[in-house]
Structures are given as structure tokens and as C-alpha cells.
Amino acid sequence: MSGYGLRPRRRTVLVALLVAAAMVYTLLAWRPPPSDDFLRLQRFMNPPGSRDAVRAVKSSFDWSAVKHEFPPADGAAPSADAAGKSAQGSKRHRIQHHFGRETARAALERASRRDAVRAEFVRCWRAYREHAWMKDALLPIAGGYKDQFSGWAATLVDSLDTLWIMGLRAEFDEAVEAVAGIDFGTSAGDRVNTFETNIRYLGGLMGAYDLSGREALLTKAVELGDFLYGAFNTENRMPVDFIDLPRAKTGERLFVEDSVVSASPGTLALEMTRLSQLTGHAKYKDAAMRVMRVFHAGQNRTRIPGLWPIMVSMKTQDVTGGDAFTLGGSADSLYEYLVKMAVLADGRDAMFNELSTRFMRAAEDHLFFRPMLPDGADVLISGNANYDGAAGRAVLDPETEHLACFVGGVFALAGRLYDTPADVATGARLTRGCVHAYRSMASGMGPERWNLAPCRGDHSVRAADCPWDEAHWEAEKAKRPEWRPNLPKGYTTAKDPRYILRPEAIESVFVLWRVTGDEWYRDAAWDMFRAVSKGTRTPIANAANLDVTLGGVPVQEDYMESFWLAETLKYFYLTFSSPDLVSLDDFVLNTEAHPFRRSSG
């Protein structure tokens, strides 16, 4: 046989294998073309000439000109994709479900629900425009305002991409012009919160830029990124929790706090990486990666290997020493960003793949539990754990909080990225656990913090059976002085019974809908929206509800954080929109729901 050919049968088999491989690749990589609705929205919101229609006004101080005493990126181990190139190139991992064509009846119902969410947003936006324009937050009962995030118009910046997504072009154009004039050289106070500035302001600017292409937004994002880069101007290049603005202008070193919540330094990587991608300057990502390498080095040396304690010291680079663990407040977005960084890199960043899978397995073993419920619902709850030194083991605390409801969506994202259906299933059970809390409370809204009775005996993720045991529930609630008679069976406390307009539950419902295509999630979202709207509405906007365990006329607090418009209503709206609007195949949403494009070259 000639060395230049193959036998016919062998050639036929080879061709068949190549065709099969091509079909599998096409199936995995296939995405439906943009819908007519989405294309119309893009054409409407981004007309010719809009990219440069507004010119950014330079801030009164040039943060890029600061000569840092300890240049943050100096000495950093160079990453293989210094400017974020791991997210460049063709995407191979499909996140979203393959959605088919919806019926005319289903489309009408979906559009009606979507428009109801949009109307709720427009009410609030008009109130903000009238009573709190260019301020951080609206007071939704008094009609006043407050500045708690440096006075840089947090609600305005945080809402930019929601305005675009909802097709509010006049409002969006006005907002872009206003944002283009924000002065990041001064602030309402001398101390600027690094975490909040990063997720709300920098995230908001880049998310709106990724949707609209408005150059003024990228210009302001770079200004703010250069300011935040100065947070790493410390002797060990770890970031400060609060930036001393006057001192930061001098370039003199800042001083890292003795102890901070782990979410604060752990929630910088996504924004800094995206800024490096958009600008081509590696310094932002390199500064954040130095921090994440500290978390990576310590991940398996903690009391619960795979998880980090709530409190850490970036001053001493000690992320291992504490005894209290949670995926809730103070730690939540640290874990969220592990998976979202992996998604941004399309699974090609080995460090974030390892960080993600380690935390997920540890959380399953030590934090997740199945609650005992009268209806027998097979759901999971993310609790807390405390390390008992005398016993030499971690002890579950069956308390959870609304902030932990993000984790169902994160498990579903990871399950799609890594092709692990069991993780999608776990994410679904966690998400349904949070929906169960909403549906169980008299108001139809979930509380800020609550306890449940774990299943008797085996309450782990793998618990196969969990029969209702009234005596066990009575014994569990007897341990809780916070128990109240208006709590539903299975629940032992509502330690903080407020609903403060938080997004985490609807966030996971949205992700599970987009990942599975299961209509259960959209129906749940509609129930949640109606309850939230009813329980929080004021004459001008929406306000926090003080006690979700009560029905009837709601008791409210004059409080409306920017995340109500930036996140909560956005997730409701996207749940009832065409699945290709901010497709999870094309975007990663930061912890403030700002969509960052998964770059493709």
C-alpha cells in the first residue's frame, strides 16, 4: 500500500468520525440568532452616531498621573493572559438552554409580565429623577435623598444598563450625559469604599458600555479604574477596604486594615479583568490577581478546606485563621466571582477552575442542608458553619440569609461550564429553597435572615428521605427564643424579618430559567414580583418592608438601595424577556447585575 493514502474502509471510518465530531461541536457551540426583538432594541438604543454623541468631562484630578510609592503591579507574577486574553477567542461552552419558538399565547403572557416590571421601574426612575437626581439614593417615602456612596450618583450609574435593557432611550441618553460629567476627583467624604465603588460604579459604567458602546462611559470607567488601582498602593500590594482620598492623591502608601470581611478584597477580579480587556492594559487585572493568588494559596489550609473564614487579614495575608464560615453576607461575592471569573475565561483559567470546584465541594459537605418541611419539598438551604476546636470538626448552624440565595444560580452556571449536571441539579434545589421561603411567608416575600429545622438524622445534600416530624420541629423551635407563632411550620426563626428589595433570590431564579428552560421558574418569578410589588410600593417608588411574616397592610422603611433598580427589577425584566437579551452565552453579570461581555476576539 502506498504511504500516501488510506484503505477505503479506514478512510470511511475516519470521515465518519470527523463528521460526528463536527456535529457535536456545532451542537455545543450553537446559539440561536438574535431575535427580531433584540435586534430592534439594539438598533433603537444604539443609533448611528451615538457612540461619540456625548463627550466625557475630565474629572478635577487625574488619577492616572499619580506616582505610587508602591506601584501595585510591580513584582506581580505575570499572568499568562495579562490583559485578559483568556476570554478572547471562540467560546466553546454554551450556558443557556436551547429555547424553542414560543406560542403566540405564551409570548403575550410573557410580554404582559415584562411590561408590568418595566412600569414598576419607570415609576421609581421618575421619582429618582424628580427627588434625588445626581444623588446616591432616593428616599421612597419622604421623597428626599441621601448620599452614602461618595455622592457620585450611585443610583444613576447603577441603573444605566437597566435603562438600556428596558429600551428607555431618552432616559438612557440623559443619564449618559449626566454620568459623563461626574467628578471622580472629589467625593462627599474623604473615605471611599473600595468594594462598593468597584461593583456599583465601575461595574455600572462598563456594563452600560458593553451594551451601548458609548465612549464617554469607557472614559469615565478608566478614570475610576485608575482611582481604584490606587487602593493597591500598599507595602504588600494588598488593597485597602477604604481609600483615603486626599492621601491617595499624593501617591503615598495607604495602610491595609488589620481585618476585613473576605468579600471585600475577593470581589475585585471580575471588574479589574474586564477593564484590562477593554483597555488592553494588564495592570488592573494583575493587581487583582495578586489578591486572588493569596486566596488560592490558602484555600486548602483553612479549618474547612475549600472555604475561607468570614474575616481575613490582607495586612498579614492571612486568609486561613478564622472559625466562622458562610456563603452569606460578608463572604458571598468572593465565592460568586470564582465561578464568574471561570465563565469569563470560558473555563480556560486553571486557577479559577480549581478555586470554583474546591469551594463547591466543600460547601456541599459543610454548609448545605436539607430542611424538614411539611410539604416534603426536596430543597436545599445554604447555612453557616463554625469550627469546634474541641470536637475537631465543623458544626452546622442552620441559619441562612437572603444574600446567600445567589448560590443556586452560581452552581447552575458552573454546572453548564463544566458539564456537570449534578451541579445544575444542586443549584435548582438551592434556588427552590429560597423560593420556598418567599411562598411560605404571609407576605409572599423572603426575609433577610431566617432559620429552619434540618431533616432529622441525615440532612445532607444526599439525604434521600425527609419525613415531617412535628416533635422534631417543636424541639428545634424550642431552641430559638426568636421563634414567633406567625412563622410557618418548618421555620424556626425570622431573625431579621425585613425584605429590603434584595435581588439574590430572583437572580438565581433568572439563571435557572435561562439554564434549564423550566417554566416553573418563570411562574415562580411572577409570584415573587407580584408579592414584592404589593409589599413594597409607596406613592412614588418602592421601599423596604419591615416584616414579611405579616400579611395585610405593609409596614415600610424609608429605604431604597440602588440595587433595586440595578439588579432586582433587571432580573425580573430579563426573566420575562426574550432569552437572547443579555444571553448568558454572551455575558457574565457582576454581583450588581452589570453585564460584561464574554469577549470573542
Q: pLDDT tens digit string along 358-404? A: 999 999 999 999 999 999 999 999 999 999 999 999 999 999 999 99
- For residue 88, what pLDDT is reported? 45
pLDDT band at 600 (very low <50, low <70, confident <90, very high): low
- For residue 348, what pLDDT is reported? 96
Helix (H) or strand (E) run with residue 246 in it: helix 245-250
Task: Taking residues 256-285, report their average pLDDT.
Answer: 98
Q: Does some domain include residue 544?
A: yes
- For residue 59, what pLDDT is reported? 99
- For residue 13, what pLDDT is reported? 52
* CB neighbour list of residue 275: distance below 8 Å, 6 or more residues apart: 202, 206, 221, 222, 225, 281, 284, 285
What is the percentage of the chain residues whose pLDDT exceeds 70?
91
- For residue 36, what pLDDT is reported? 74
Q: Does some domain include residue 517?
A: yes
Domain with 412, as residue range(s), is: 367-560
Cα–Cα distance for residue pair 499/535, rounded to 1 Å = 9
Cα–Cα distance for residue pair 405/383, rounded to 1 Å = 11
- For residue 73, what pLDDT is reported? 75
Name the catalytic one among 504, 561, 567, 580: 504
Is 196 known to be catalytic? Answer: yes
Ligand-binding site membership of 591 (annotated): yes
Q: Does some domain include residue 529?
A: yes
Task: Taking residues 11-24, report their average pLDDT.
Answer: 53
HEC profile for 259-286?
CEECHHHHCCHHHHHHHHHHHCCCHHHH
The SS3 call for residue 595 is: strand
Q: pLDDT tens digit string along 286-300? A: 999 999 999 999 999
Is 364 known to be catalytic? Answer: no
Task: Taking residues 465-493, report their average pLDDT.
Answer: 97
What phi-psi label fits residue 590: left (phi over 0), alpha (psi between -120 and 50 degrees) or beta?
A: beta
HEC profile for 307-375?
CCCCEEECCCCECCCCCEEECCCCCHHHHHHHHHHHHHCCCCCHHHHHHHHHHHHHHHHHCEECECCCC
Q: Quick one: cell of 375?
A: 410539604
Q: Does some domain include residue 542?
A: yes
Which residue in this structure is represented by grid cell 478546606? Answer: 305
Cα–Cα distance for residue pair 560/198, rounded to 1 Å = 20
Q: Minimum mean pLDDT among 5-19, 327-341, 546-560: which range?
A: 5-19
Query: Helices 519-536 and 421-440, interaxial angle, to 10°?
Result: 30
- For residue 7, what pLDDT is reported? 52
Exposed/middle/buried for residue 257 (C-beta within 10 Å: 0-12, 13-18, 19+): middle
pLDDT band at 4 (very low <50, low <70, confident <90, very high): very low
Instruction: Classify the C-alpha dihedral 437-442-446-449 as positive or negative.
Output: negative
Q: Does some domain include residue 532?
A: yes
Cα–Cα distance for residue pair 258/287, rounded to 1 Å = 20
Q: Does some domain include residue 531?
A: yes
pLDDT band at 80 (very low <50, low <70, confident <90, very high): very low
- For residue 1, what pLDDT is reported? 38
Q: What is the mean pLDDT of the chain?
A: 93
- Structural domains counted in the chain: 1
Cα–Cα distance for residue pair 169/162, rounded to 1 Å = 11
Q: pLDDT tens digit string along 123-181? A: 999 999 999 999 999 999 999 999 999 999 999 999 999 999 999 999 999 999 999 99
Report the amino acid identity of residue 353: N
Is 448 known to be catalytic? Answer: yes
Q: pLDDT tens digit string along 251-262? A: 999 999 999 999
Name the catalytic one among 210, 226, 332, 399: 332
92 has a pLDDT exceeding 70: no
Q: pLDDT tens digit string along 442-464? A: 999 999 999 999 999 999 999 98
Which residue in this structure is represented by grid cell 424538614? Answer: 372
**Count of residues making up the chain:** 601
Q: pLDDT tens digit string along 504-514? A: 999 999 999 99
Q: pLDDT tens digit string along 228-253? A: 999 999 999 999 999 999 999 999 99
Q: Does some domain include residue 460?
A: yes
- For residue 601, what pLDDT is reported? 37
pTM of the model: 0.93
* CB neighbour list of residue 272: distance below 8 Å, 6 or more residues apart: 198, 225, 228, 284, 285, 287, 288
Q: Does some domain include residue 110?
A: no
Is 496 known to be catalytic? Answer: no
Cβ 210 vs Cβ 344: under 8 Å: no
Name the catalytic one among 81, 136, 158, 196: 196
Q: pLDDT tens digit string along 390-440? A: 999 999 999 999 999 999 999 999 999 999 999 999 999 999 999 999 999
- For residue 38, what pLDDT is reported? 86
Name the catalytic one among 81, 210, 336, 448: 448
The CATH number assigned to the domain holding 458 equals 1.50.10.10
